Amino acid sequence: MDLQLEHQHILITGGSKGIGLACALGFLREGARVSLVSRDQANLDQAKRTLVEQLADAASRVALYAADLKLPSEAIEALDAAEGNFGPVDVLVNSAGAAKRTPPDLLDAMVWHEAMEAKYFTTIHMIDPVVKRMGQRGRGAIVNVVGAGGKVASPVHMPGGAANAALMLVSAGMAVAYAPRGVRVNAVNPGLTLTTRLQEGLAVDAKAQGIDMDEALKRATARLPLGRIATPEEIANAVVFLASSKASYITGAILAMDGAVTPMV
């Protein structure tokens, strides 16, 4: 299927690892140009090497920008630099940030603040200027990679889940606000996915249950109706589709990708 993404400029936050990196590869395979934003330059450099290993012609279509998206000024600087290089952003994928899982007895005010800074504001600081610029141009698509933890409360993921729930509301609200200006906004909620963040989450779950990591992984997998954990590429496939013109009438959608572990409407 031709997703009509060739030559489009895709900006991906959190693009150096995991789902963000998988999204980058997916867009590059469609012929797009990709700007990756992440805090760590070394991770960005490694990400580009990985992408070029997969697609030899990708070198000239990948640009890297190191920025701490907790700071709105750095988000703007990265956006300006990206648009100065590849032109206006056609698609924004927000995959940056993750709140640490914390047992309830260890929660305090600072943990709640840090979760919002790590997940919520890293998205807001980029989506706010991008959606306004898209609205002025009369076109654009945004896909926010959020998380299933915003739908179902977990005792060890309350601050992060709260940030995810807030991002779902923002996604739906911006979809309504910017649809008349030609901008679509959707969100994807991955469940368990084979990334480094999965290992961090399993470690907290294992400690809370008094079991080892292998047992925690076994129990987590056993709860999945599909019988396996998602790959980053599977999440990326949905993101790339939602960003494409083939999804031209999809906006305000919150797509669950948890393997049917939570059967809700």
Coil, strand or helix at 72: helix
Q: Residue 88: inside a domain, yes or no?
A: yes
Q: Write down the pLDDT at residue 16.
A: 96
Q: Residue 68: inside a domain, yes or no?
A: yes
Stated pTM of the model: 0.93
Q: Residue 262: inside a domain, yes or no?
A: no
For residue 82, give its domain range: 9-257
Q: Residue 31: inside a domain, yes or no?
A: yes
Q: Write down the pLDDT at residue 32.
A: 98
Residue 13: name the closest of 47, 38, 40 by CA: 38
Q: Are 62 and 52 in contact (CB under 8 A)?
A: yes
Q: Which two tokens stand for residue 232?
A: 């980053």
Rounded distance between C-alpha atoms, residue 30 and residue 5, angstroms: 6
Count of structural domains, the chain = 1
Digitized pLDDT (tens) for each residue of the chain, 265 residues in all: 789 999 999 999 999 999 999 999 999 999 999 999 999 999 999 999 999 999 989 999 999 999 999 999 999 999 999 999 999 999 999 999 888 888 899 999 999 999 999 999 999 999 999 999 999 999 999 999 999 889 988 898 999 999 999 999 999 999 999 999 999 999 999 988 988 777 777 777 777 778 887 787 788 888 889 989 999 999 999 999 999 999 999 999 999 999 998 887 7
Q: Residue 29: inside a domain, yes or no?
A: yes
Q: Are 65 and 78 in contact (CB under 8 A)?
A: yes
Return the HEC string of 149-196.
Answer: HHCCCCCCCHHHHHHHHHHHHHHHHHHHHHHHHCEEEEEEEECCECCH
Give, rounded to a whole angstrom, the gap between the first and last alpha carbons of the chain: 29
Give me the residue label for tokens 């920025």.
67
Q: Residue 106: inside a domain, yes or no?
A: yes
Q: What's the CATH number where 25 sits?
A: 3.40.50.720
Count of other CB atoms within 10 angstroms of residue 246: 15
Q: Residue 193: inside a domain, yes or no?
A: yes
Q: How many CA atoms lie within 13 A of 109 on its CB side?
A: 0
Q: Write down the pLDDT at residue 221.
A: 87
Q: Write down the pLDDT at residue 54.
A: 95
Q: How would you label 39-77 residue by residue, b for 16+ Cβ within 10 Å and e otherwise?
A: beeebbeebbeebbeeeeebeebbbbbbbbbbeeebbee
Q: Write down the pLDDT at residue 6.
A: 96
